C-alpha cells in the first residue's frame, strides 16, 4: 500500500510530527508484520526519527543544523539562496524505514517520525508512505 501525506509548513526550518498519519496508513494497510518507508519528496526536506517528549529536541536539531550549516555562504546560494536547505536535507536524509510490528509502526515509547522542513514555509509538502509486509 502506498499513500501520500500532505502537510503545510509554517517555518523556514522546522520538524513536524507525522507519526499519527503514518500509523493510520499502516493500520489501514492491514499489514501485521513488515516495514513502512517514509520518504520526503523534495530536495530541501528530510525525514527523521527523534524523541517527541517536548519541543526541546526538535529545537536543538534545528539549532545544531543552523550552526553546522549557516545560511548564505554556499555556492548554490548564487542560484536561489537556499544552499543550506539542500545541505541540511542531504545530511539528515530523505527517508526512514520502520518495522511494522503487530500492525503498528515499531517505534519505542519516545520515538516519533518527523518531517523536516529546511526551506519553508510551504503550502504543500508531500511525504510518500509505503507499507510492505504480511497480512496475518
Of 44, 40, 23, which Cα lies nearest the Cα of 105? 23
Angle between helices 83-92 and 55-68 (to 10 degrees): 120
Whether 58 and 81 share a structural domain: yes
> pLDDT tens-digit profile of 74-117?
999 999 999 999 999 999 999 999 999 999 999 999 999 999 99
Q: Does residue 71 fall inside a structural domain? A: yes
- Structural domains of the chain, count: 2
Whether 99 and 110 share a structural domain: yes
Whether 57 and 85 share a structural domain: yes
Mean pLDDT for the chain overall = 97
Q: Which domain holds residue 103?
A: 19-38+95-130
This prediction's pTM: 0.96
> pLDDT tens-digit profile of 16-27?
999 999 999 999
Whether 88 and 103 share a structural domain: no
User: In the predicted model, what is the mean pLDDT of residues 11-19?
Assistant: 98
Please say whether the beta carbons of 102 and 27 come within 8 A.
no
HSE-CB of 48 using CA atoms within 13 angstroms: 20
Whether 82 and 104 share a structural domain: no
Whether 66 and 77 share a structural domain: yes
Amino acid at each position: 500500500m502506498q499513500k501520500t501525506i500532505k502537510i503545510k509548513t509554517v517555518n523556514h526550518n522546522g520538524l513536524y510530527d507525522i507519526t499519527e498519519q503514518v500509523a493510520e496508513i499502516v493500520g489501514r494497510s492491514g499489514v501485521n508484520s513488515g516495514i513502512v518507508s517514509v520518504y520526503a519528496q523534495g530536495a530541501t526536506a528530510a525525514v527523521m526519527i527523534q524523541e517527541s517528549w517536548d519541543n526541546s529536541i526538535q529545537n536543538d536539531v534545528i539549532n545544531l543544523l543552523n550552526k553546522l550549516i549557516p545560511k548564505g555562504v554556499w555556492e548554490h546560494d548564487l542560484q536561489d539562496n537556499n544552499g543550506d536547505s539542500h545541505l541540511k536535507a542531504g545530511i539528515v536524509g530523505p527517508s526512514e524505514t520502520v518495522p511494522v510490528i503487530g500492525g503498528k509502526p515499531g517505534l519505542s515509547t519516545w520515538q516519533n517520525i518527523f518531517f523536516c522542513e529546511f526551506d519553508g514555509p510551504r503550502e504543500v509538502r508531500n511525504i510518500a508512505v509505503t507499507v510492505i509486509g504480511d497480512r496475518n
